[in-house]
Amino acid sequence: MMWEYVRLEDDTQVSYSEVREDNTVKVVVERPRDWGFDTAECILPAFNWVSHEGFNEVDLKELDDFVRNNAPLILRFAYEGGRVYA
């Protein structure tokens, strides 16, 4: 299962998975484009970017910074079973 973490101004969406059997959490970034989506996937807590398509090196650096800055909260939400809306 995936939960939305945040949607950025340019409609880029950051989502995260439940804690997987190997104690990792998958973070998926999707940015809409005319014919589909640019996508990138990062595995926490190792910050291992396992795939990306459509993002350039500058974009990936910004995404990496974003995920690193937000990882404590993303991991907390994942370990608590997803984001709970009040």
- Residue ranges of domains in the chain: 2-79
pLDDT of residue 83: 64
User: Do 58 and 41 contact (CB within 8 A), yes or no?
Assistant: no
pLDDT of residue 85: 54
Mean pLDDT, residues 75-81 taken together: 92
Mean pLDDT, residues 18-37 taken together: 95
pLDDT of residue 81: 84
Q: Secondary structure of 59-80 in the HEC alphabet?
A: HHHHHHHHHHHHHHHHHHHHHC
Q: Which of 33, 55, 34 is nearest to 42 (CA)?
A: 55
